[in-house]
Amino acid sequence: MPVILRIAVPGNPLRRYFDYLPPADLDPARAAALAPGCRLRVPFGRRSVVAFLAEVATESPLEPGALKAAAALLDDSPLLTPAVAGLCRWAAAYYQHAPGDVFAAAFSQRLRSGRAPALGAWRLTDRGAGLAEDALARAPRQREALAALRAGDALTDDELTAAGIRREALRELVRKGLAERCAPGPRSARSREAGPALSAEQASAVEAGSSDLGHFACHLLEGVTGSGKTEIYLRLIAACLARGEQALLLVPEIGLTPQTLARFAARFDAPMAVLHSGRAAGERSDDWEAAASGRAAIVIGTRSAVFVPLPRCGAIIVDEEHDASYRQQDGFRYSARDVAVKRAQLEGCPVLLGSATPSLESLHNAGAGRYRHHRLTRRAAGATLPALDAVDLRRQPLRAGLSPALLAAMEETLASGAQVLLFLNRRGYASRLQCHDCGWVAGCDHCDARLTVHRRRKRLQCHHCGAARPLPAGCPACGGAQLLAGGLGTEQTEEFLASALPQWPLHRVDSDAIDSPAAMEALLATVREGDPCVLLGTQMLTKGHHFPAVALVGVVDCDALLFAGDFRGEERLAQLLTQVAGRAGRAGRPGRMLLQSHYPDHPLLRAILERPYAEVAAELLARRREAGLPPQGQIALLRADSPRAGEGERFLAALRRESERSLPAACQLVGPLPSALPRRAGRYRDQLLCLSPDRASAGRAAGALVRAGEGLTAPRALNWFIEIDPLETL
């Protein structure tokens, strides 16, 4: 029987695998024994590319004579585990994405480029091991190296360097046939300390999670910030390490703080791998290899770490599972949270989703009995949650968006020695520049959007495409000199507060002011000292950080959040406000949170003010069910963009016509319609939405839509793609 290699070829948009014959010089028996997850170099078009073996087959739709042979096999054994290779195949099919890109996401950059794994170790050969202790008497450095290798097994470069062993001595041992390179082996991993005595709620969650080690099960852990979720993660990881297994912890993009890492390092004497985009590519590749070789017992990472192969994956934890950063928003669009659940199923291990504000998807699954639901209702160490109040903005005199009530509360809080956190989710000085004489408004040349005024940098900037130009002195349309800045941004509030409350330090926290993790660390260090100050910031302030000395939280512009237009808008607002509230009042200080709004009686605002998140979420979930919206049904979104107006709409209309016959009857198509931002960075954007009542029909519909799109000849320069379970449908 012929051996056909089904290969995922990265760097091309085609949603399919490519069949190749094994390399001509490869022994047929070895070819037949190849397993998914090996890398091969294959001819593709006129190029030669590093590609990934997805499956070994015995037949191909193409004649064997028509198949090309792969050029070379790059790995003796697969670099992906069977579970991760299976996960990649599943993800390519579920998300209707090119398998080459999906498989590429599971490899480190070093391995994608075709280079060999670098993280090697050294061990003695049989001859080296058999050598007498007092041999090599005239080469003391080699003798030390020999002794070190005798004491440990498969020591890595780092370990040997730390032990004072020189590379030259090792090379000399290799030359003499006494030592050799090998893959690094696992290291012992153990807990240094047991941790505090658990509350009854914590203990029952830990017990439930640990008793599921060894098989697939989903747990949802719902607990406010500071209620002891991380402590539960630590215990589950400890139980996992005790079984000799590895644990994978996923964190949101900016949730991975040095304090979190320090807490893990303090608790465990175990090699850790840390995978996030802030690290240098080389370091990341090393840590990928530490995880994949089984050496790292604890793997902590952001979104893409969900694909890192682990030979002994024992548990998967997703912290702040509701967080939008788990969704990859370009290229291979996937949800790391959802992929984590699928992965746990393939690995046969438990998955724990934790959040103060669980997504409606996870609550839905818990309600349906698919997830076990654990709640932590109290904060550890007796801290209380802040009391919430609305501030009615109607007819109030506002200064830089702040009402007299909020300003008075700020002054009172600062005078009492506590800190204030102001949340305003718009950076820049003003969101609009308008001429008072003729009404001209500064707009972006490339998007259907207004330009934001950045006064400090003296320029106008588009927050959608990044285009910028100098701040005009007068109106370009009529020459008028009166330009009005409308729509409040953080720079403006900062400027006002600097003059209104000059005696208190003020820290602006947005991506203009804080442009590196180091800058954020420096700020946090200052704030943690606890002296009274005002923190004024965007979304950046609401994630991952605890501010124990904050006793007042002000939400400057609730109205901007109330009318988001997207079907997830209300869920997001409830999560955001609960998360912001959770930043404050931890050290036994009863905090306060003031929400400024022109609609203090808005039902959602009232619900958030008066009831806990769990109740608000249950109500939102009931409404989604009535409307047949996710998590009740499933959404797929086809998006098209083109440099010419109307082209995307025509393409999607044709796609709709082509697909309609093969679409399951229960699926509903809406569109094509222009996107909420119809033109962005010079491209016109349209969309077609497909709503399905269940997973099975959603999968069939997505397949039918993609096939219809692939059957059409798209105009030049038109891009189209499908997004499964999109976060936003605007």
Write the DSSP symbol of residue 335.
B
d(CA 649, CA 573): 32
Q: How far is the CB of 417 from ligand ADP (least distance, A)?
A: 22
Q: Is 202 in the site for ligand ADP (CB under 6 A)?
A: yes
Residue 13 preceded by cis peptide, ω within 30: no
696 is in the binding site of which of ligand ADP, Zn ion, none (Cβ under 5 to 8 A by kind)? none
Binding residue (CB under 6 A) for ligand ADP from 81, 108, 225, 634: 225
Radius of gyration of the chain (CA): 29
Taking the least distance from each CB to Zn ion, the nearer of 341 and 435 is: 435
- Looking only at residues 332 through 391 of this chain, which bind ligand ADP when binding is defined by CB under 6 A? 380-381
Contact call for residue 12 and ligand ADP (CB under 6 A): no
Alpha-carbon span 99 to 104, nearest angstrom: 8
Q: Cα separation of 317 and 340, whole Å? A: 8
What does each C-alpha distance from 272 to 117, 118, 296, 347 come to in angstroms? 18, 17, 5, 20
Tell me: does residue 490 bind ligand ADP (CB under 6 A): no
> What does the DSSP assignment read for 553-586?
EEES-SHHHHT--STTHHHHHHHHHHHHHHTS--
CA distances 647 to 15, 658, 672, 682, Å, are 23, 17, 11, 13
How many CB atoms sit inside 10 A of residue 439's CB? 11
Query: How far apart (Å, rounded) are the C-alpha atoms in residues 438 and 648?
Result: 35
The reply to whether 580 sits near ligand ADP by the rule CB under 6 A is no
Shortest spacing between CB 550 and ligand ADP, in angstroms: 15
Shortest Cβ distance from residue 237 to ligand ADP (Å)? 13
Torsion angle of C-alpha atoms 23, 28, 30, 36, degrees rounded to 10: 60
Residue 381 partner contact from Zn ion, ligand ADP, none using kind-dependent CB cut-offs of 5 to 8 Å? ligand ADP
**According to the binding rule CB under 6 A, does residue 199 interact with ligand ADP?**
yes
Nearest alpha-carbon partner for 16 in 68, 72, 82, 61: 61
Is 611 buried (19+), middle (13-18) or exposed (0-12) by CB count in 10 A?
middle
CB 201 within 8 A of CB 209: no
What distance in Å separates the CA atoms of residue 231 and residue 234, rounded to the nearest whole number?
5
Closer residue to ligand ADP in complex, CB, 104/198? 198
Phi, psi of 4 (to 5 degrees): -110, 130
Which of Zn ion, ligand ADP, none does 231 bind, CB closer than 5 to 8 A by kind?
ligand ADP
Pick from ligand ADP, Zn ion, none: which does 291 bind, CB < 5 to 8 A by kind? none
Least distance from Zn ion to the Cβ atom of residue 682, Å: 8
Is the C-alpha dihedral spanning 125, 131, 134, 136 positive or negative? negative
- Residues making up the chain, counted from first to last: 730
Q: Does 226 bind ligand ADP (CB under 6 A)?
A: yes
The entry of Zn ion, ligand ADP, none that residue 435 binds, CB within 5 to 8 Å by partner kind: Zn ion
Angle at 420 between CA 231 and CA 613, to 5 degrees: 50
Instruction: Report the nearest approach of ligand ADP to the CB of residue 383 (Å).
Output: 8
CB of 572 to ligand ADP, least distance (A): 20
**With contacts defined by CB under 6 A, how many residues of the chain interact with ligand ADP?**
15
Q: Residue 198's binding partner, choosing from ligand ADP, Zn ion, none, with beta-carbon cut-off 5 to 8 A by kind? A: ligand ADP
Distance CA 185, CA 313 (A): 15
Q: State the nearest-atom distance from the C-beta of 53 to ligand ADP, in Å.
A: 40
Q: Which token pair is 671?
A: 């569109």
How many Cβ atoms are within 10 Å of 503's Cβ, its own excluded? Answer: 8
- Contacts (CB under 6 A) with ligand ADP, residues 655-684: none
Answer for which of 10, 23, 184, 228 binds ligand ADP (CB under 6 A) is 228
The contact pattern for ligand ADP, residues 147-186, with x = CB under 6 A and - = no contact, is: ----------------------------------------
Nearer to Zn ion, 440 or 567 (CB): 440
Nearer to Zn ion, 143 or 464 (CB): 464
User: What's the angle, vertex CA 15, arms to CA 10 and CA 20, rounded to 5?
Assistant: 60
Shortest separation between residue 381's beta carbon and ligand ADP, angstroms: 5
Spatial distance between the Cα atoms of 613 and 297, rounded to a whole number of angstroms? 35
End-to-end alpha-carbon separation of the chain, Å? 51
705 binds, among Zn ion, ligand ADP, none (CB under 5 to 8 A by kind): none
Name the residues that contact Zn ion, by CB under 5 A.
Answer: 435, 437-438, 440, 444, 446-447, 462, 464-465, 467, 475, 477-478, 480
Return all residues near 313 (Cβ < 8 A) that are at least 6 apart: 81, 83, 245, 246, 248, 343, 347, 349
Asked whether position 223 contacts ligand ADP by CB under 6 A, the answer is yes
- How near is the Cβ of 480 to Zn ion at its closest, in Å? 4
Q: Is 228 left (phi over 0), alpha (psi -120 to 50) or beta?
A: left
Select the span of 191-199, 309-317, 389-397, 592-600 touching ligand ADP (CB under 6 A). 191-199
Does residue 219 bind ligand ADP (CB under 6 A)?
Answer: no
Q: Which is nearer to Zn ion, 311 or 443 (CB)?
A: 443
**Residue 62 identity:** L
Interaction of residue 198 with ligand ADP, rule CB under 6 A: yes
Evaluate the omega torsion of the peptide bond into residue 672 and state whether it is cis, within 30 degrees of 0: yes
Q: Among residues 15, 110, 123, 229, which is the contact residue for ligand ADP, using CB under 6 A?
A: 229
Q: For residues 199 and 328, which CB has a smaller minimum distance to ligand ADP in the complex?
A: 199
226 binds, among ligand ADP, Zn ion, none (CB under 5 to 8 A by kind): ligand ADP
Q: 477 or 696: whose CB is closer to Zn ion?
A: 477
Give whichever of 17 and 264 is closer to ligand ADP, judged by the CB atom: 264
Closer CB to ligand ADP, residue 267 or residue 656? 267
* Tokens, residue 214: 């060894």
- For residue 478, the partner it binds in ligand ADP, Zn ion, none, with Cβ less than 5 to 8 A by kind, is Zn ion
Q: Which is nearer to ligand ADP, 151 or 197 (CB)?
A: 197
Residues of this chain that bind ligand ADP (CB under 6 A): 196-199, 202, 223, 225-231, 380-381
